[in-house]
Structure 1
Amino acid sequence: MINKENMKKAIVTVLLCHLLFGSFLARAEVLDMIVAVVEDDVILERELQNEVAAIEQRIRQSNSEAPPSYVLRKQVLEKMIVDKLQRQLAEKAGITVSEDMLNSSAADIARRNNMDVEQFRTELERQGMSYQSFLDNIRNEIVINQLRGREIGGRIKVTDREVEHYMETQDKIGEESTQYHLGHILIAVKEGASSTEIQKAMGKADDLVKKLRAGQDFAQSAISDSDDANALKGGDLGWRRMSEIPTLFVNEIRQMRQGQVSEPIRSPSGFHIIKMIELKDADNHVIVKTKVRHILIKTNELVDDAEAKKRLQALKVRIADGDDFAALARAHSDDKGSALKGGSLDWVSPGDLVKPFEEAMTKLGINEISEPVQTQFGWHIIQVLGRENKDDSSEFKKNLVREAIRKRKIEEETELWVRRLRDEAFVEIFQNRL
């Protein structure tokens, strides 16, 4: 009986034979040499070279200095291995990304960069990246995010009591209004590591802290030495409020000043080094609430879009001629819940209503009635009756705390899950290729 491990070793032997034969091939075929075997798949030299080139370009654009080539190749390869393991798991779970979802995500990214898709494609190509590579990266991110959501997100719960406990026990004055821009380096320790391996990792972390405090560049050190998923971003964790910071780091961060580097912090994953890059205070959260009412005409086999718009235009004319909006809403609106209240949706906050409705509502003056507006529910005419500014800081803070606790739990669980996935997988790296 041949077990799975022996089968995989046999695969590696065959692949090595292929490499020995391939060593006599031309330079073009050298790019197809295998750098690593990941379960039943492989990573090729050309794949690694392309990814290294992309990361080098990103590092240059961020005005950071790239580490030596052999260090960067090792870090990039490790990221590719972990990504491939997650994609393999996603494929087994039947997770796919439709073309519509992919194109929609690409369009959203283009819009956030103030471009349409064609302009964004041109800009990518100007920077040396093909649009297809960009789409492949987006597909990969969506698949991995969906996998993590299925494997981890569904298990994470945040109770009202956890939110209350945080707000009762943490310093309420100013803490949640303060944001922290953090850098992070992880010197990983695998599960079941020996005391010798733990001591070696701790020594590496201590030595790195000394160098960072002596002026060594943090971003470059993260790219070279960190085992965290953000390593190739220079270890940048971005801006976070206290409730969004892993519990393990909270006490240390409370005592840190801008520019300071922490002592190594031990966790099940290894030794963490934190840098306080910047701090800033946020303003109170004020929202604009809107008192609004509407009349809805739904489309069906008897009422098409043109007919729905025609009916609403007629109702708008009647209102302009003096008919009561509320009476017409009760008589004609297909939104039976609001029709009973004369079309009133009462006071609404940003995000309460679907986007096309809210966008049209936001453009209206007080007592002004919109042209017919289409949403997923049908066609509407909308009237704004009032607006007021409301300090929503208390509720906003609760929601921030709830979401931040959830995010923190997901990050902590994801770190352990990814490390376990990597440690338990069959991975063969051909060191002579690095």
Structure 2
Amino acid sequence: MSRLRRHLTAIACVIAIALPAAAPARAAETLDGIAAVVNEDVVLHSELRAEVDFVRDQMRRNGQRVPPDSVLRERVLERLILENIQIQRAEQRGISVDDEAVNNALRNMADRNGTNLSGLRQRVEADGMDFQRLRNDIRRQLIVSRLRQREVASQVQISEDEVDSALDRMEQANQQEAEYRLSHILIGLPSDATSAEVTEAREEAEALVERLRDDAEFSSIATRASDGPEALNGGDLGWRSATSLPTLFVEAVRGMSTGAISDPLRSPNGFHILKVEDRRGGSEQTVTEIRARHILLKDDGGMDDPDAPADAETEGESPRERLEALRQRIRAGADFAEIARANSEDQGSASRGGDLGWVGPGEMTPAFQQVIEGLEPGTLSEPFRSPYGWHLAEVLEKRQRQDIEEYQRAQARRALYERELEQEAQRWRQRLRDQAYVEIRADG
């Protein structure tokens, strides 16, 4: 309900007080009342009742225990008050959200639930919720989110020292859990080795690494060349926890993929060569990265069912039909990059022939990520839709990358940022609440 309408309703309540006693009782029953005054706005009893009913129904649907009505009413009213304060502040800052942003948010919601906008509407209405209410709720959430971004998120800074400390904690926890199955070759050296002996041992180790990376059998070379106690077992160290391995070994294998051969590692005993046979536990993982390119055609941003045929009244071809025509041209030998430059509406990638570069897990919208993960290199997709429009995608390459330091640092920085953002946002909300004029009225 708009602020103007709320004020008119409040005025009507005041006028009603002066009505003669002979006024029909029915009219009194239809009057609304003010549950709370919030700065220059109000929360009406009708709004509060509707929100309490909605929250109660949702809690029951989710199998949650519903608190007593008095407690539920108090909590819901406080939430409405806080939201009202934030919406007012956003209005003062000139922050608004247009219909296209709401539609995109709804498409993302539908995408996460494996459906389209038509399917989302059906699910929402089947749950007894008005779809227009959902749109209004999302608009308010987006407004508050933009306000928080402007007033809070831009103030949160994460230092490199904080990231380093977080990584140290993660590493200590991971070392307790991770286990490795390694194969090992030792080119031994005496404790009083001369520089010439060290040089000779290093050159021997480097030559062995080169042969191993050329697909020589590790166990055979270990049996013949290793000075380690496990040489007769082909250098197999078996499964070892990270805490039971030398720090030199753990630091070397942390960024290595399964099957990789290490560079020669110098220790007082000589030069070590390691092969990662397998790993388990811990948080280290192999990340699949995809290099893809695409052509994007935006739609009209409406609420049409994306699986429905094009509107008969729409002039020209639909984005899906245009992409299908482009797909046929590419399959017939046309250059994807040239077509992308001429047709794609993604300004960021069109100039690069649609090239998106290397994409890791979760970096793209789920609808797009799902499609490219299911394509083999060199394969062209069918036209498909995401919240941003219609796409034609091609996967160029795929690669496996160990969860190495760069990826870990990004994860640690994101976790620290979100934790600090939530803490600062909580303090910010409390300041807004403390600074606002709030008067809670008795039940009407």
Report the TM-score range of the alignment, normalised by the length of the smaller protein: 0.5 to 0.7
The answer as to whether partners of 1:284 and 1:391 remain within 8 angstroms in 2 is: yes
Which residue is 1:113 aligned to? Answer: 113
Distance across 1 between alignment mates of 2:427 and 2:105: 28
- Counterpart of 2:62 in structure 1: which amino acid? S
Distance across 1 between alignment mates of 2:288 and 2:51: 46
Q: How do 1:146-165 residues align onto structure 2 when only pairs under 5 Å count?
A: 146-165=146-165
Deviations 1:390-424 (A, max 9, x none): 22254333222101111111111111111111111
Which residue is 2:249 aligned to? Answer: none
Is residue 49 of structure 2 the alignment partner of residue 49 of structure 1? Answer: yes
- Counterpart of 2:106 in structure 1: which amino acid? A
> What's the CA shift for 1:53?
0.2
The answer as to whether partners of 2:378 and 2:395 remain within 8 angstroms in 1 is: yes
> What's the CA shift for 1:118?
2.8
Of residues 349-358 and 145-154 in structure 1, the stretch that sits farther from structure 2 once superposed is 349-358
Is residue 382 of structure 2 the alignment partner of residue 392 of structure 1? Answer: no
Distance across 2 between alignment mates of 1:387 and 1:95: 42
Change (3 A) 1:388 1:429: same
CA RMSD, aligned part only?
Answer: 4.8
Distance across 2 between alignment mates of 1:88 and 1:420: 14
Q: How do 1:365-384 residues align onto structure 2 when only pairs under 5 Å count?
A: 365-368=376-379, 382=394, 384=396
Change (3 A) 1:49 1:23: farther
The answer as to whether partners of 1:313 and 1:372 remain within 8 angstroms in 2 is: no
Distance across 1 between alignment mates of 2:175 and 2:28: 58
- Counterpart of 1:87 in structure 2: which amino acid? I
SS at match of 2:122: helix
- Counterpart of 2:423 in structure 1: which amino acid? E
Change (3 A) 1:388 1:33: same
Which residue is 1:418 aligned to? Answer: 429
Deviations 1:195-231 (A, max 9, x none): xxxxxxxxxxxxxxxxxxxxxxxxxxxxxxxxxxxxx
Which residue is 2:186 aligned to? Answer: none
Change (3 A) 1:46 1:162: same
The answer as to whether partners of 1:309 and 1:379 remain within 8 angstroms in 2 is: no
Distance across 2 between alignment mates of 1:360 and 1:21: 66
Which residue is 1:223 aligned to? Answer: none
Which residue is 2:37 aligned to? Answer: 37
Change (3 A) 1:125 1:95: same
Change (3 A) 1:345 1:27: closer
Q: Which runs of 5+ in 2 are unaligned?
A: 1-9, 179-280, 298-318, 343-348
Deviations 1:124-175 (A, max 9, x none): 2332221111111111111111111111011111122321132236662239
Distance across 2 between alignment mates of 1:311 and 1:117: 26
The answer as to whether partners of 1:288 and 1:389 remain within 8 angstroms in 2 is: yes
TM norm structure 1: 0.55
> What's the CA shift for 1:334?
5.7
Distance across 1 between alignment mates of 2:324 and 2:114: 32
Give the fraction of aligned pairs with identical amino acids, expressed as a percent.
Answer: 27
Distance across 2 between alignment mates of 1:395 and 1:177: 21
Is residue 77 of structure 2 the alignment partner of residue 77 of structure 1? Answer: yes
The answer as to whether partners of 2:175 and 2:282 remain within 8 angstroms in 1 is: no
TM norm structure 2: 0.54
Change (3 A) 1:426 1:399: same
Distance across 2 between alignment mates of 1:134 and 1:394: 41
Distance across 2 between alignment mates of 1:409 and 1:51: 30
Which residue is 2:100 aligned to? Answer: 100
Change (3 A) 1:41 1:176: farther
The answer as to whether partners of 2:36 and 2:44 remain within 8 angstroms in 1 is: yes
> What's the CA shift for 1:30?
5.1
Distance across 2 between alignment mates of 1:401 and 1:73: 39
Which residue is 1:126 aligned to? Answer: 126
Change (3 A) 1:405 1:349: closer
The answer as to whether partners of 2:372 and 2:394 remain within 8 angstroms in 1 is: yes
The answer as to whether partners of 2:288 and 2:398 remain within 8 angstroms in 1 is: yes
Is residue 299 of structure 2 the alignment partner of residue 288 of structure 1? Answer: no
Change (3 A) 1:398 1:70: same
Q: Which structure has the larger Rg?
A: 2
- Counterpart of 2:440 in structure 1: which amino acid? I
Of residues 98-107 and 147-156 in structure 1, the stretch that sits farther from structure 2 once superposed is 98-107
> What's the CA shift for 1:14?
8.1
The answer as to whether partners of 1:23 and 1:30 remain within 8 angstroms in 2 is: no
Distance across 2 between alignment mates of 1:131 and 1:380: 31
The answer as to whether partners of 1:31 and 1:44 remain within 8 angstroms in 2 is: no
Distance across 1 between alignment mates of 2:73 and 2:20: 21
SS at match of 1:140: helix
Which residue is 1:219 aligned to? Answer: none
SS at match of 1:60: helix
Counting matched residue pairs gives 301
The answer as to whether partners of 2:174 and 2:282 remain within 8 angstroms in 1 is: no
Distance across 2 between alignment mates of 1:55 and 1:362: 38
Which residue is 1:202 aligned to? Answer: none
Distance across 1 between alignment mates of 2:122 and 2:323: 41
Change (3 A) 1:19 1:430: farther
Q: How do 1:9-20 residues align onto structure 2 when only pairs under 5 Å count?
A: 17-18=14-15, 20=17
Is residue 143 of structure 2 the alignment partner of residue 143 of structure 1? Answer: yes
Which residue is 1:61 aligned to? Answer: 61
Distance across 1 between alignment mates of 2:65 and 2:365: 45
SS at match of 1:388: strand
Distance across 1 between alignment mates of 2:427 and 2:139: 24
Distance across 1 between alignment mates of 2:425 and 2:154: 12
Distance across 2 between alignment mates of 1:332 and 1:297: 11
Distance across 2 between alignment mates of 1:393 and 1:295: 28
Q: Which runs of 5+ in 1 are unaligned?
A: 1-12, 179-280, 299-304, 320-327
Distance across 2 between alignment mates of 1:34 and 1:16: 9
Change (3 A) 1:87 1:366: closer
Distance across 1 between alignment mates of 2:395 and 2:329: 15
